[in-house]
Every structure is written in structure tokens, then in C-alpha cells.
Structure 1
Amino acid sequence: MTHRHKTFRSDDALCDAWHFPGQGEAFAGDGGRPVVVMAHGLGGTKDSGLQAFAERLAAAGLDVLAFDYRGFGASGGAPRQRVDLRGQADDYRAALCAAARLDGADPNRLILWGVSLAGGHVLSVGAHRRDVAAVVALTPLVDGPAAGLLAARHHSMPSMLRSTAIGTRSRVAALRGLPPVTIPIVGRPGETAALTLDGYFEDYTALAGPTWRNEIDAGVALELGTYRPGKDAAGLRCPLLVQIADFDRSAPPHAAAVAAARGRAEVRHYPCDHFDVWPGRDWFDAAVAHQISFLSRHLGAGSPPAGSPRHYGTAGSPRHDGTAGSPRHDDAAPTTTR
């Protein structure tokens, strides 16, 4: 499927984007088509796995605008390779404005789509807007402190302290006007990198596109320490789909379930790790099919008014009952969250 090249301004830089026009009439309405606005997770670029999601959604009838954050991929902006959480949320807001201006777009049916770190961004951004008609959060990282505790289970204390020290050096350098200290985004176990779990190097680099760089400002660890977008889920006024990898080693599944409960979400579970829902992996087809089903029910032509969100298990995986703060796991039939 071909896409159209677009750019839009976010603060002081141009963000680079791909527009995938929707096919068919399944989502067509009097005001135009819904537009899915999507971006990648930690250090990712739109040419690193997002295209397959965008193509599936566009084939189902949804317009899609996939973009790179400032400082990453084909987008402008400096410093390069620095994860600025507030700045990335601002990029999403600018992308929503750009999506609303696309030919044939329905400005009242914009959809926020985020994966991993971006799965948290879409909760925060969506909670403060009225032009967002639905939110999709795939294996979302919604609680930085919880992610730190999960990382501590898989890494030695010396490696955790080393990461903190390098991150502090980078922040001090930035305050002095010096270039940031950088580390690889992903490495093998025992190496210094943001992600070093067994198998993650192969999983991430298999997705890597031509604009992706295996480099990131080491200060990201300090940024994430206070990042808790899951709390914003309660402010969402639109349907929310949260897709949880039950054996996720980087984005805590329990925290995602709690955020889902706050947002009265429909929840889908997959018995896999973080990268197993990506193109070419076992759970990609199921994950994208659930996204299309969710969006069809809420935004498809002739769709009924949204009812109570529901929770689903996948292939016998645990299901959360949606009780805020105290998720329960079982394999019962789907139940409503409230």
C-alpha cells in the first residue's frame, strides 16, 4: 500500500509523517473518515514496524497518520535522539491538528494510537481533548516507577546504578550546554544500553528501518522515573482499548491493567512478551484484528452508541476484572468493567 509524505510543525521543528488513506466505506461518515494518529515507543521511528499496523488499519477503512517525534527519524529538531516526554506529547497534539486537516478527514473522529512508551502518551494527550473519538494503547508503558521496579527484577544492582550514573552525567552535561551522553537504545545482556533483556536486541533490530539509530540520550532513565501517564486515563471521555502482553518484561502489565480500569477500557490480553505483538511475530495478527474490531464497533459506519467497556482474555491468558487498584486474574467469560 502506498502512502503520502506529509510534514507538520511542532513548536520549532517540522515533524515528518506518512499518510495512509483509508480504503472502502466501512468507516465513511457525513463528516469524512476517522484518522488514526500513531507514533512509536522508546527511540523508535515510523519506518521501524509501524507501517504494517498502518496498512492493516487503512485497508480496513481508516485513514492513518504515522509520524516521527522531533529529534528522531526523518523529523527535524535538536538535540537528536533525546526522549523529551512533554515534547513528545506536544508532537502528538500537533499531529492531531495535522490529521484534522487531511483531505476527507473527519476532525471530530480522531483516534490516538500508541505503543509502548507512546501508549502512555496517548492516555495523557487524550484525557485533555474533546476531539479524540477513541484511544488505542498497545503494550503501554504507563508507570515509570513500576517499570523501574520491573527492571530491577531482571538486572543486577550494579547495572542499575551504572545506568542512573550515566543518566545523571547526561543531565549535568545538558545543564552546562554540552552534548548529551548517549547510550544504545538496545543491547545484549551485560552491555550498557536502555534495553538489555535477553532477546530484545534481536527483537528490536529486526524492526529497524533506515532512519532508526541505535542511540539515545542516557538521561531517559531519569525522565521515566517520574512518568505516570496511567493516572490520566480516568480523564478520558472516549472509548479506550488497552492491549496487554501478560509476560511483558519492560512495560509492567499490572500497571497497564490498573490504568485500563481507570479509563473504563476494553482490555485484550496476549500470553507473550513486549515485542511479540509486532509484525512478523505470533500475536501481531490478533492484536491488529482486535484494534480493527474495537474501532469498527465504536466508529464504523452505523455503529451503535458506545456501551460499557469489556475485558477479554486471549487464548486462555489472564483477564483483569477492571477494579481500579486491585486487578483480579481469571479465565472467566468477558464481563463489564462497571
Structure 2
Amino acid sequence: MTASAVDVVEPVLFLAQQEVARLLSVADCINLMSDAMAALARGEVHQPLRQIVSAPGAKGLLGLMPAYIGGADPVYGAKTGGFFPGNSALGLDPHQGCVLLFSGETGALMAVMSASEVTGIRTAAMTGLATRLLARPDASQLALIGSGHQAHWQLQAVAAARPLTSVKVAARSLASARAFVAVQQPAYGFAMEAVGSAEAAVRDADIVVTVTNAREPILLDAWIAPGTHINAVGSSTPAYCEIEPALMGRASLFVDRRESTLAESGDYLNALRAGLVSPASLRAEIGELVIGAHPGRGGANEVTLFKSLGMALEDVATAHLLYLRAKAARVGTWLPM
């Protein structure tokens, strides 16, 4: 490398979990995800399906999620991370790994970031965006199914999207739901209540979030009132499923990306095998709602469901914004390569 080339090489940013949280809130990230989904809908993003390595007998899986975002300041990026469901019992986030950011002009490594915090924030921001676009304007009662590592971000997202008046929380045990409520309630002005079952949580709800590691449906069609909006977040591979096939067949389905849903969503694939949905059942991608290519909710009594899988675009867009904010604030660890 020449001396002049050395002079222009930027140091690489390393951002830890706490620094990511300091630089970006869930509420901020909702608008970022709106812009990212619009870019996807306009064809400005190149993103292959993620690659999953699931070894026989292993306690978790490893995923590789790359993407390219064009425009005036193009970037490549990739999240390399594991999903280890048993981590919850150890007090660890099931999602582990890092997000890598590269210059779209030179290919130079720009940043390495904690994937756990990035994943939690951007996943919740997609919930917030979908709720903003699809829930009834007067929706105010949330049922939160799941109290694990991502639940607090999901609560923040829905609270940013709608003026909530009440939240009911159901978890694997009533004790877990109560513990979650005890920690979260002081941060909010609306009432939060722990309940003993998913059914008890959703009976009066007009917004539902499922964020669990369930392998069998935990949300049934019979429990859902007309006009409800559902964010199905927890199942992100074919082996996991939160939503009863009958409910998938009844609801108007919206997705982050059609291609990913058809290949990877256990909720969709279970309903497909039951003959209750088809590719034509996917009304639109969220980005198509953002750019006005699809109207979204069709009426006050329509049940809408956003199937969130997560994709590399969300990680890379988040990492790019974090890089710019960290550079401006001189936050993080900057090391020469």
C-alpha cells in the first residue's frame, strides 16, 4: 500500500451493545426502517436470501445475512450471527453475533457492531412501522405475548406508534409476565397487567405482538376480534411457528419481503400445507405501503397481520446510521487496520 493510500484509510469503528443503545432509540429507528423499506420497494437494495447453517445436534444455528444499499453513500454489510434458543435460560440474548459494514466505494471495512442490540432495535422498529401503517388509528390496547430479551424493545415500538391505554403481558409463566411488568411499568403512563395465558391477553386487544420461541401455534383464530392488528415476530425459520394456520388464512397478510416469507416463515409454510394460504395471500410488502403502492388496511373490521422475519437490509441500514452518528459524536472504539 502506498503512503498516500495509508493516509486516506479510515479507522474501523467497534461499537459495543451499550454504545449502540446510546446512539439509537427504537422510536428513531422506526423512521429509518421506513426509509429502508421504501428503498427496497424502489429496487435500490440488493439482498440475497440469508444462508443458515444448522448442524445436527448443535444447540443453535448460524446465519449469514448480506446486503448492498445503493444511493449517494453506498454500503455493503452483513450480519453474521447465531440463534441459540436455550440462551434465555442462561440470562443471555438468544441472538448473538456482529454486524459488519463496508464502504460501497472501496470495499474498506468501516465498522463492527454488536448484533444483539442492533437486532433488537431494528426488529422492534419494524413492528412499530407496521403498527403505524396497519393498526386502526384508534387502536390503544396491546397484548404482548412473550417477555424475553426482545419484549421490552417491542413494547417501546408499539408505544411509539400508537397512544396506548393498556398492555396485557402473557409469558411462559405468570411469574415471568409479572417480573416483566414490574420492570417496565415505571417507564410508562398506561396500565400494564400480567395475565396467565395468551388468550387472556388478546381477548380485549386491538394490537397483538407475539415474540416467542414457540414451535407450535400459541395464537388462535378464535381469540382475535375483528379489526385487530397482529405483529408476528418470534418465528423466523421454518421450524418455528406462533400463529394458527386458520388465523393466517383469515388475516390480511403483510410481510417485510415476499421472497423471504415464502422460503423461511414457519407461520406461512404451516398454513400453506393446510391449504389456507398461497403466495397470492401476501397482500404487500411493508415498503409498498410506505411508497403508496398499496393502501394497506381495507376497513375497520379487517384483521391485519404483519409477518416479521427480519432481513439484512434492516441490519445494514441501522449499522450505517449508527456509524454516521458515532463518527459525529466520536463514540465507540476506533482502531487502524
Q: TM-score range by the shorter chain?
A: under 0.3
Which structure has the larger Rg?
A: 2
Higher RCO (Cα < 8 Å, 6 or more apart): 2
TM-score, structure 1 as length reference? 0.27
